[in-house]
Chain A
Amino acid sequence: MRDLVKEPLVQVEDLKMHFPIYSGVLRRHTGDVKAVDGVSFSIQPGETLGLVGESGCGKSTVGRALLRLYEPTAGRVIIEGEDIATLDAETLRKKRPSMQMVFQDPQASLNPRMTLSAIISEPMVEHSTMSADERQARVFELMDAVGLNRRFANRYPHEFSGGQRQRIGIARALALNPKFIVCDEPIAALDVSIQAQVVNLLEDLQDKLGLTYLFISHDLSMVRHIADRVAVMYLGRIAELSPRDALYAQPLHPYAEALLSAVNEPDPNRARRERIILTGDVPSPANPPKGCTFCTRCPKVMDICRQDRPELAEVQPGRFVACHLYTKAAGSTGASEVYEPTQQGAN
């Protein structure tokens, strides 16, 4: 485990991202989609924090709000001592080089009308006073770093394969020597054989350049491979935030448990873990349940879960869980005796 005394590079406090809903003839503000509703975590320098959860739980929104591609509704995002969420436009622009993003769809994240060299040098055009020759030299350097042949510099994105395009995206993110990179499902759109290449590339770059990642993914095996700590999100909130090994060995939050039980075990001889199959749908983030957001699907739901929303609390050293099973009110830890049949749709 990492030394937690160090100053974190990224500190997120109670981040909220609500998207307003307008309805009716008068387009009145009738509610909010609470895509992210009170998320807090910190990332140490050089660390990789995995962010997992099912579709629509707000993973990508967290990533985007972190870099202020969305204006967060509330909360603070402190990167290297500055609160990104409240910086004015010009200071934010100056700050941009230190935080970059790798996008999910490598096809959509590259402008089809720009050559590879133009794409990679764009950040340098924005943020440095390099001459065209210096930029070109740096482009070649970056292409070498991500394993792209220099001959490709004049080609257009559609001439590349998915894996190569993602390398272009990574090269662009690296152009300004960032400290922190948000990887927003960088491997989701790739072929399985290419996924490993890209993830290994990300790891190599981390070792070489001392990068810090927020690795957003729904691929639990990949997260296990790359992340140091893992945050499990459900419906806009963090359910559990634990060191990787501890989480994969014994998930504490019932949702994390259900999620991890879905991971395939490649070795057929090993005892198969009991699958926990959740029933029902994720509640709408526009109208989340009153208590714990997971109470409509939780196999271990208790009465208190429908009333009070559990806060994220440290239940074991380094492990944070938002669940009443582990709060004092509910008594013992890991209590499975408080079993109730799942009640569908009950709020």
Chain B
Amino acid sequence: MTETTNLDKPESQVAAIWRQFREHKGAVFGLAVLGFLVVFVLIGPLLWQAETLKVSEALKVKNQGPSLRFPLGTDQLGRDMLDRMMSAGQVSLAVGFIAMMIAIFFGTFIGILAGYFKRLDGPLMRLTDMFLALPLIPLLLVMVMLFRDRIAKVVGPEMGAFILIVFAIGLTSWMHAARIVRGEVLALKEREYVLAARSIGAPPRRIILRHILPNVISPVMVAATLGIAEAIITESVLSFLGLGFPPDFPTWGRLLFDGLQYMQLYPERVIWPGLAISLTVLSVNYIGDGLRDALDPKARGR
């Protein structure tokens, strides 16, 4: 084991992390599934073009089951489900990841500030409590009502809805991450290696970046993977309430709710988007799990 270690230069972090990540079977499986989903929604539309049908033709082929012509069937208006699933996936995945990143960024930032700087702890945590106490859905509704038209004027209705939803979800789901991070930071900053860094004369920002942030990565990872699932579902709730994307704009959540009315007659209409959401959430969870282990030198090489 020692013989294979490079004598002079440390092995690069990235290589070591990747080596450990591959050890985790679930994580590799998750990465493959997520990769497949991303390819499906991004490359798929280039390979599969739905036929453009006239309204009268479309109505004749409505509510069909899977066939060679429509691999995933058609919906109640005769639209090709495969095509809808693919374009819906682009939006849902983008919303999930970006909203999660916003939430994690704010949560970690606020959690670290509150945990590390004693003076900020009170105000920031009360702010967090306040956000937690707010009823989420009405708040989102108000936000969307207030800003939808204004943003739509600047960047167009679809992009506007996207930005609004991503930020609305991100800004209303950072609280749990902030609490978790604050707790971790409070414990970490009393550790002797943080004291050692202070005795070396490292300024707070470098102590935070070098010693505290890498050590809060595990709980953040868990919060992040759960956050993606939550964001995708919150988006579908908003769309369902008519406050997300425009009705004809497909997202997985939207398709799920559209299919709900026909569930007993055409269960596949619910199964496709449901399966896509579940697979995304599951694979992201596994990837997060593997990444957490790979980032921890203690678990590495076990």
Contact = CB atoms under 8 A, between A and B. Distances in A.
B215 A123 contact: no
* Category for how many chain B residues contact A: 20 to 34
A153 B2 contact: no
Contacts, number: 82
B203 interface: yes
A154 B11 contact: yes
Contacts of A67: 199
Contacts of B150: none
Contacts of B5: 151, 154-155
Interface stretch (A90-98, A300-308, A329-337): A90-98
Interface string A150-191: 110111101000000000010010001000000000000000
Contact of A103 (B195, B210, B215, B297): B195
A117 B7 contact: no
Contact of A109 (B8, B192, B203, B300): B192
A321 to B, nearest CB: 32
B197 A97 contact: no
B9 to A, nearest CB: 8
A93 B203 CA distance: 9
Interface in A93-125: 93-94, 96-97, 100-101, 103-105, 108-115, 117-118, 122-123
Contacts of A69: 195, 198-199
A93 B87 CA distance: 56
Nearest to A97: B201
Contacts of B137: none
A105 B194 CA distance: 13
B189 interface: no
A156 B11 contact: no
A267 interface: no
B297 A122 contact: no
A154 B214 CA distance: 17
Size range of the chain A interface in the assembly:
35 or more
Contacts of B202: 122, 126
B193 interface: yes
B52 interface: no
A127 interface: yes
B7 A103 contact: no
Contacts of B210: 111, 114, 122
Given A108-B192, A109-B192, A151-B2, A123 B7 contact: no
B200 interface: yes
Nearest to B7: A151
Contact of B199 (A101, A155, A156): A101
Contacts of B11: 154
A105 B196 CA distance: 11
B6 A154 contact: yes
B298 interface: yes
Contacts of B201: 92-94, 96-97, 123, 126-127
A113 B192 CA distance: 14
B206 interface: yes
Contacts of A158: 297-298
Contacts of A172: 196, 200
27 contacts: A69-B199, A97-B201, A101-B196, A103-B192, A103-B195, A104-B192, A105-B192, A109-B192, A111-B214, A112-B215, A113-B295, A114-B210, A122-B200, A122-B202, A126-B200, A136-B8, A136-B9, A150-B7, A151-B2, A153-B10, A154-B5, A154-B10, A156-B297, A156-B298, A156-B300, A158-B297, A176-B200
Given A113-B296, A114-B210, 6 more contacts: A96-B199, A109-B196, A112-B298, A115-B10, A153-B10, A169-B196
